[in-house]
Amino acid sequence: MRRIYAGIVSLGLVLAFIAPAPALAATGTFPSQWNMFREQVASQKMIGVLLGTSYDYPAWVRYITFGQVHKTATRAVIPVTVTTRGNSTFRGTLVTRKYNGKWYFYSMTLGDAEGSGPGFINGISIVPMPTGFTSSVVHTAITQQTAHQSLVAGIVSGGYRRLTVLHHTNNWGTRTIDVRLYGGTRAPVVGRVVAYRKRASSGSMYWFISVLK
């Protein structure tokens, strides 16, 4: 299955992504760095469209509409409809996972199923993994998402039914997307999606979602 997937960030945040960090296993307190890394690698197409990294401007995301949340004690699966700046639409599935009472973004897939079928093992995508990254690639993302729970929890709870992209800002190795969330049981709010860029050993560039805050 193809994966879709989604202000100025300080230099200190970028350096935190580069510095080595100890591995965080999925112990019930934090998600597995390896699983989160694999899911974001598999979601490069959507991350790029959300961040506006491609040159195909009409394909950039205008807004994402969240459908009915299917939630268990440890996972929320949310059908979404993505509308682009060129007024095309397609369906996807947003997945978040819960550890120690906190929600973490995992992936957004093109289509209606999540974590099943020949493209997955135990709910994790089977994709070629790039080399040249340390565990710090997602360590800071986990730390940031742990500290900023309000907006992602609002999506999971049905508090927000739509995310509209307002503005893109570029910085050295990072990108920030100003967004507006509204349409649910919570009052409308403006937030930010923060992402960072890393180069693999092959020279290919990868984007990783750090946080929605």
With a pLDDT cut of 90, the percent of the chain lying above it is 32
pTM of this structure: 0.77
- How confident is the prediction for the chain on average, in pLDDT? 77
What type of residue sits at position 55? Y
Q: For residue 93, which of 212, 175, 3 has the smallest C-alpha distance?
A: 3
Q: Please give the distance of CA 213 from its chain centroid, rounded to a whole number.
A: 12
Res 179: pLDDT: 96
Task: Identify the sign of the CA torsion 58, 67, 164, 147.
Answer: negative
Q: Hey, is 44 helix, strand or coil?
A: helix
DSSP secondary structure, 65-100, as one string: EE---EE-SSEEEEEEEEEETTS-EEEEEEEEEEET
Angle, helices 33-42/44-51, rounded to nearest 10 degrees: 70
User: Does residue 153 have a pLDDT over 70?
Assistant: yes
For 69, counting Cβ atoms within 10 Å of its Cβ (0-12 exposed, 13-18 middle, 19+ buried), the class is: middle
Give tens-digit pLDDT for 47-101.
888 888 877 788 889 999 999 999 999 999 999 999 999 999 988 888 898 988 9
Query: Is pLDDT above 90 for 45?
Result: no
